[in-house]
Structure 1
Amino acid sequence: MPSGVAGPERLKSVSAIVHSMTQLLFREDAYATSFVARVEAVQGAQVRLDRTLFYAEAGGQAADQGVLRWAGAEAQVTDVQKAAAEEDHHGVWHTLQGPLPPIGATVQGELDWRRRYRHMQRHTGEHLLAQAFLRVNPAFRVVAVGMRSAQCTLDLEGLPGEADARAAENVLAEIIRRNLKIKTFDVAQEELPAFPLRRPPQVNGRVRLVGVRDHAGWWEMSACGGTHLRSTAFAAPVVVLHHERIKGGLTRMTFMAGEEAGEFLGEHYRSAREAAQLLSVSPERLIERVQATLDEAARLRGELDRTRSELATTYVRSAKADPIGDGELRVVQVDHDALVTPALRALLACPQTLGVVIAPDGRCGVTSTLTDRHAGKLLGAWLTQAGGRGGGKTELAQGQAQDGAAFEAAVRQWREQS
């Protein structure tokens, strides 16, 4: 066969690939909300269309949702994914909840616009915040992103901290205030060196770029196939909520953008205001008042611990001492389970003593300063007889009896048989 002439099998293969291509309408207009398309294939609960506005999950951005309608029927679009098969690598599959349209049917798709718009705010906010961190310190390079929930993440190199996050927010706030246009366009791969890409592209051939330009040139430039806003102002506010160190020596910055950030901040301000009202201060003084309250609580907790310790010591000293072998047995009844631990501490200070503490709710403990008595083994034996669970070591053991009286009876029976 002459060179350059396609045989039947080759033509069949090319036809299948062309047939499976889905025109991505959102790349032409990310603000469009409805479209008309033809069903090319049906597979399980999924359909492939010849064109779509629905964004397929990729690049850290969640899939769009919405509805497909056709002659007398409709179904919810619950997920959108790119085709996994190599021969169908340009196809986009829409998972439907409800009836399925037949192959060849004309359908009208309508986006869940509120969901799409918030995804656009997240994704645009991610681009702008990543660039802001890079401008704070060139070492703060993005390794991974996550935007599948309202609280998004940036995984950064260079170990940025809280001060760096605040600095990046300030850099970004200026760009947001200037309401700079966000431009999307395709370029050939050989043209890429002319653009200051923040990260190298992950695709070959023609590459879609998303950039923000100011008077000095390109302020931000990335290769990206996601959906974005028309200008920086619509991403506001963009706030970093917290950061944490993760494996690989990276720092994960959690942030929110746009409407979701505004709702989050508003909700938390209302909560802070309610808390401030309970403490009779203004929201601006809430942290100061909370710290003072915590300090006072710590002081009172210390006084309470000392009081409990003194009371528990009184209980121990008042308990009857029964002789056993070379020592004595003290069974201490306390009137609150909070006194069990301080009573055990007091018993440990008593030489040659086997101590038992019992609270009304069945909490119990055993101490031993006798060389021939193992607290943990004795507690286990008594709990087996009385019902309950617990354990410990030679000098100290604690547990929970089903019934305090039954546990005490088991101790007394052991005492009579010893």
Structure 2
Amino acid sequence: MSRMLYAEDPYLQQCETRITAVHATGIELEATVFYPLGGGQPGDSGWLIDSGGRRTRITDTRRDRETGAILHQFETGAEVPPTGSAVRIEIDWARRHRHMRMHTCLHLLSAVVRHGVTGGNLSAESGRLDFDAEGVVLDAATIQAQLTRLIEADHPLRVRLISGTELAAQPELIKTLSVKPPMHLPQIRLIEIEDTDLQPCGGTHVTRTGEIGAVRVLKIESKGARNRRVVLGFADDAA
């Protein structure tokens, strides 16, 4: 299994590593700074640089469903160094940092809208959460004002670890209704936003809420009888 450097420090943008396996679906590495698709956060893209300086585009990062291995994917026909090769990898930092900002903002959104989360997703341009909020009227201006207050308060984020048994005894920490954390693990990662939010999450985040920057509520819409979807975007992307 790859050493998951992105979990140790989400601000690492590159690392020296070695190819441990080459598959038709991607390559495995001894260590990686690339986050694999999961938890609503896209997989990272970037570059692999071989010993001769040749750069090959990594188009996506996924986990193998059967083995859990992190697979770095390439365009069809790309020349990939063989197993055992020493390489350097670099993430597309501009894209990843926007993922981190939006992911943290969605945690703030779940603290502002206090209903169970039935789904969610994010990209470098926007993010959304679906809430089990039948009969509830969600006001975009109120949500945006509350998010702005939490962002400008510049709350710090910390990673905490908890056992599956401890988490089972605190079910209020699990906000997602359709997806549960891996309760069988001896340690589960929690993201704590000081004085604001605490919930299980394996994604990458900024270290303070002020780093998110200004955001806008793009729309609120109904998705079935019970679900209300709130979609956010970055204010600096406004035309």
Q: Distance in 2 between matches of 1:166 and 1:45?
A: 45
Q: Secondary structure at the match of 1:233?
A: helix
Matches within 5 A, 1:251-330: 251-256=228-233, 261-265=234-238, 267=239
Residues 195/228 of structure 1: CA separation in 2 closer, same or farther (3 Å cut)? farther
Matching residue within 200, 206, 210 for 1:233 = 210
Q: Secondary structure at the match of 2:37?
A: coil
Partner of 1:358: none
Matching residue within 192, 199, 216 for 2:175 = 199
Contact 1:132 1:169 (C-alpha < 8 Å) held by counterparts: no
Q: Secondary structure at the match of 1:225?
A: coil
Does the alignment pair 1:105 with 2:85? yes
Q: Distance in 2 between matches of 1:241 and 1:252?
A: 11
CA shift for structure 1 position 198: 4.5
Matching residue within 17, 30, 36 for 1:56 = 36
Residues 231/149 of structure 1: CA separation in 2 closer, same or farther (3 Å cut)? closer
Structure 2 alignment gaps of length 5 or more: none
What amino acid sits opposite 2:62 in the alignment? Q
Partner of 1:144: 119
Does the alignment pair 1:92 with 2:65? no
Partner of 2:9: 29
Greater per-residue helix proportion: 1
Q: Larger RCO: Structure 1 or Structure 2 (Cα < 8 Å, ≥ 6 residues apart)?
A: 2
Q: Secondary structure at the match of 2:194?
A: strand
Q: Secondary structure at the match of 2:173?
A: coil
Deviations 1:326-367 (A, max 9, x none): xxxxxxxxxxxxxxxxxxxxxxxxxxxxxxxxxxxxxxxxxx
Greater per-residue strand proportion: 2
CA shift for structure 1 position 141: 2.1
Partner of 1:176: 151
Q: Distance in 1 between matches of 2:34 and 2:219?
A: 32
Identity %: 27
TM-score (norm 2): 0.89
CA shift for structure 1 position 149: 5.3
What amino acid sits opposite 1:84 in the alignment? R
Larger radius of gyration: 1
Structure 1 alignment gaps of length 5 or more: 1-20, 135-139, 268-418
Count of aligned positions: 229
CA shift for structure 1 position 210: 0.4
Q: Secondary structure at the match of 2:35?
A: coil
What amino acid sits opposite 1:128 in the alignment? L
Q: Distance in 2 between matches of 1:196 and 1:235?
A: 26
Q: Secondary structure at the match of 2:61?
A: strand
CA shift for structure 1 position 196: 5.3
Q: Distance in 1 between matches of 2:160 and 2:27?
A: 29
Q: Distance in 1 between matches of 2:23 and 2:111?
A: 41
Does the alignment pair 1:76 with 2:57? yes
TM-score (norm 1): 0.52
C-alpha root-mean-square deviation of aligned residues, in Å? 1.8
Residues 223/58 of structure 1: CA separation in 2 closer, same or farther (3 Å cut)? same
Q: Distance in 1 between matches of 2:138 and 2:65?
A: 40
